[in-house]
Structure 1
Amino acid sequence: MPAAARVQPKDFFTPEEWGPLTRRSSWKGLALVAHAWGVIGLAIAAAVVWPVLIPLSVMIVGTRQLGLAILMHEAAHGGLHPNARVNDFVGHWLCAVPIGASLASYRPYHLSHHKYAQQAEDPDLPLSAPFPVTRASLRRKIVRDLTGQTYFKQRVAPFFRRRQPDAPEGANVTVRSVAPFFLVNGLMLLGFGLSGLWWAWFVLWLLPMATWFPMVTRLRNIAEHACTPALDDPLRHARTTRANLVERALIAPYWVNFHCEHHMFMYLPCWSLPEAHRLLGAKGVWPRMETAPGYLAVLKTASARPA
C-alpha cells in the first residue's frame, strides 16, 4: 500500500510563520528533559517527607515517565537538540533507557508508523484498530494497567522469551534494552539505598512505572488514533485532544495532545505544536481536523460499542 497522504506546510503557513515553527533549539529540549527529572525528583521528595502524598506522587511520577517516553519520541524525530549526537545521547540514556526503551529500536519503528499512519502496514495499528470497545472492556483494560498486569505482560515476560527475529521492531524493544535498563535502574536503586531510602525506588519509581505509566500510555494511544476516520485525509489520521491543566499534569505532558498537528508536520519541535494549532485555528482549519474537547470525550467515543 502507498504511504499515507501528506500535507504541504506552504498550503497552511506563510514562510514567515513556518520558519519560527521549525526552528531547532540547543536548550529547549534539554530543558524539558531536566524538567521531567526535576518533577520526578520533587514528587519523590514530597512523598518521602509526607507519606500521605504517595498516591499523588505515584500519579505524577508515572506521568513524567510517560513524559520521558514523549521526549524519547522527540529525539526520534531529531527534535531534542540540533546536534545529532547530543540529541541521540540524551534521548537514549536520559529518556529511553530509564523506562526500559531503546531509541535506536524505537526510531525506525515509529517512523514506519508515520509513513503508513492508520493503514495496514502501520505497526501501531493494533493499538487503535480494536476501538470502539464496550465500557466493560475499557474498564478491564484500565484495571489491568493499574494492577501491574499490563506491565508484567509487556515489560517483564519478554525478558524470559527468546528474541523473535521475524517480530516487528517494536516487539523486541524491551528485550534489546534490558541490560542498559538494569544498569541505570541498578544505579538508581544503589543511590536510593545509600540514602537510606531503598524502599522509595520500589514505591515511587517502580510502582508508577508498573501502574500509572501503562494506564496513561493507553489513554494517550486511544486519544491519538482510536476511532479516527479511515479516510485518505492527512488531517484526520490522528486526533488533537484539548487538554486542561489537570490533564496536562496527569495524562498528557509536553504537548503530546497536539497529535493531529504532529502527524501533519512531523518534524515540528513539540514546543511549536501549540502555536501551530493556534495558527491553524486562525486560518479556519480546525473544522477539517480530527479534534476532541477532552480526554473524557475521547474515552466516551472509544467505549461506545454496545455491550
Structure 2
Amino acid sequence: MNTRIAISDLFTRDEITELTTKSDLHGGWAVFSTWAVIGGTFATVAGFWEYLPNWGKLLLCIAALIILAGRQLALAIIMHDASHQSLFKTKWLNDTLTDWLCARPIWNDLHKYRAHHLRHHSKTSTMDDPDLSLVTGFPTTKKSLMRKFIRDLSGVTGFKFAVGRVLMDVEKMEWTVSNDRRWIYQEGRRWFDYPKTFLKNSGGAIVTNAALFSALWASGHPKLYALWVLAYLTPFPLFLRVRSMAEHAGMETSHSALTNTRTTKAGYIARALVAPIHVNFHKEHHLMATVPYFKLPKMHQMLRDKGHVDEAPTYWQVLNELSNQAE
C-alpha cells in the first residue's frame, strides 16, 4: 500500500501559503452565483410558460430540472468546501451562512457532514472509509451502469435517499451520506420522541424550503416549487453518482491521494452538471484540503509542471473505463 505523501515534498512553504489563502469575496461569489442561476431558472420558466405549446413546456421543464439539479449539486459542493473551512476566510460566513444558504435547502447539515466527511479524508479508499460503498463494484458492465442511471432518473434512488434521511433525522439510523445502514438502539423511546427529533434535525431544511416556496408564492408561481423537489429526486442523484464515480471509483487502495483519487477534466457541460465549483480537481483537494476552490486549477497546473500528475481524463473517458467489463 502506497504511503501517504507529505505536501512539503510537492510544494515549497511559500507555495503552500499562497495556495491556502482564503477569500470571502470568492466564497460569496460561489454562493451568490449559484442562487442567481436557481432564481434565473425559475424566472425563465415563469416568463415563458404561457407562450409555449405543451411540448415546449415539457422541454422547458426538463431543462429546468437539469439546471436546478446541477445547482443543487453546487450547493452540496459549497457545503463540502465549507466543511474544510476553505470557502470563506470569515468563520461565521463559512459555518453559519453556508449552512443555512447551501446545506439546509438540500436537506443537509454542514456540521454533521463535516464530521462524516473528515473521516473519509483520513481513511480514503480503505475499509474504514465511510464513503467506500459509494464507489464499490467498479469497473462494471455498461448494462449495470445503465440500470443505476435509470434508477436515478426514475426517482428510485431519490426516494430511497429521502426515506433514509427521514430515518436519520428521527435518529433510527446513524447519519451518513453513503449507502451504509447502521441502526440505532431504540428501547425506551416513545412515539412522540420521533416527530420531536425529526423537527429538531430537519427544522433547518423545513424552514429554508418554506422560504423558497414562499418566495415563489409571492412571485405568483408557487407550483414551480415542484421543479425543485423533482430535480432533487431525479437528476440530482444521477449527478451525485457520476461525481462520486469520477473521484474514487476504480482507483488504487492506498494512503496516497496521488493514486487513490482522480482528477477529471471538465468542460462547460460537466461544470454545469457534475463538476461545479472546481470539484473535478479532486486529487488536488485530497492532497491539500485547505486549498480554496478557486485555486485548485492553479494547484493542478503546478503539479503538472512539477511532473507529479498526468493529464486528467474526461468524464466520458472515466465512465467508459468504469463500465468496460464484458457482459
Letter of the 1:194 counterpart: A
Structure 1 distance, partners of 2:262, 2:245, is 9
Q: Secondary structure at the match of 1:254?
A: helix
Deviation at 1:137, TM superposition (A): 1.3
Structure 2 distance, partners of 1:184, 1:16, is 41
Partner in structure 1 of residue 86 of structure 2:
79
1:100–1:299 CA distance, 2 compared to 1 (3 A): same
Deviation at 1:32, TM superposition (A): 0.5
Asked if 1:228 is matched to 2:226, the reply is no
Partner in structure 1 of residue 222 of structure 2:
198
Q: Secondary structure at the match of 2:277?
A: coil
Structure 2 distance, partners of 1:292, 1:157, is 35
Structure 1 distance, partners of 2:250, 2:151, is 22
Deviation at 1:168, TM superposition (A): 5.4
Deviation at 1:55, TM superposition (A): 1.8
Letter of the 2:6 counterpart: Q
Q: Which residue among 203, 209, 229 is the counterpart of 1:179? A: 203
In structure 1, the gaps of 5 or more residues are: none
Structure 2 distance, partners of 1:49, 1:258, is 36
Q: How does 1:1-307 map to 2 (within 5 A)?
A: 5-51=3-49, 52=56, 53-156=60-163, 158-159=165-166, 162-164=170-172, 167=174, 169-170=176-177, 177-203=201-227, 205-287=228-310, 292-307=312-327
Count residues in correspondence: 299
CA displacement 1:171-219 (0-9 Å, x = unmatched): 69xx67422111211221122123220111102x111111111110100
In structure 2, the gaps of 5 or more residues are: 50-55, 183-197
TM-score relative to the length of structure 2 = 0.85
CA displacement 1:83-122 (0-9 Å, x = unmatched): 2222111221011000000011100100000000000100
8 Å Cα contact 2:124-2:255 kept in structure 1: no
Structure 2 distance, partners of 1:82, 1:191, is 30
TM-score relative to the length of structure 1 = 0.91
Deviation at 1:38, TM superposition (A): 0.6
C-alpha RMSD of matched pairs (Å): 2.2
Q: Secondary structure at the match of 2:278?
A: coil
Structure 2 distance, partners of 1:32, 1:89, is 15
Structure 2 distance, partners of 1:219, 1:98, is 22
1:158–1:9 CA distance, 2 compared to 1 (3 A): closer
8 Å Cα contact 1:99-1:181 kept in structure 2: yes
Structure 1 distance, partners of 2:159, 2:312, is 31
Structure 2 distance, partners of 1:168, 1:227, is 26
1:186–1:153 CA distance, 2 compared to 1 (3 A): same
Letter of the 1:62 counterpart: A
Letter of the 1:253 counterpart: P
1:215–1:169 CA distance, 2 compared to 1 (3 A): closer
8 Å Cα contact 1:292-1:298 kept in structure 2: no
8 Å Cα contact 1:6-1:264 kept in structure 2: no
8 Å Cα contact 1:101-1:177 kept in structure 2: no
Structure 2 distance, partners of 1:233, 1:195, is 51
8 Å Cα contact 2:141-2:324 kept in structure 1: yes
Q: Secondary structure at the match of 2:24?
A: coil
Partner in structure 1 of residue 185 of structure 2:
none
Deviation at 1:243, TM superposition (A): 0.8
Deviation at 1:254, TM superposition (A): 0.6
Structure 2 distance, partners of 1:23, 1:236, is 26
Deviation at 1:245, TM superposition (A): 1.5
Letter of the 1:41 counterpart: G
Larger Rg: 2
Q: Identity of aligned pairs, percent? A: 36
CA displacement 1:246-276 (0-9 Å, x = unmatched): 2112221110100011111111111111000
Structure 2 distance, partners of 1:228, 1:157, is 28
1:236–1:157 CA distance, 2 compared to 1 (3 A): closer
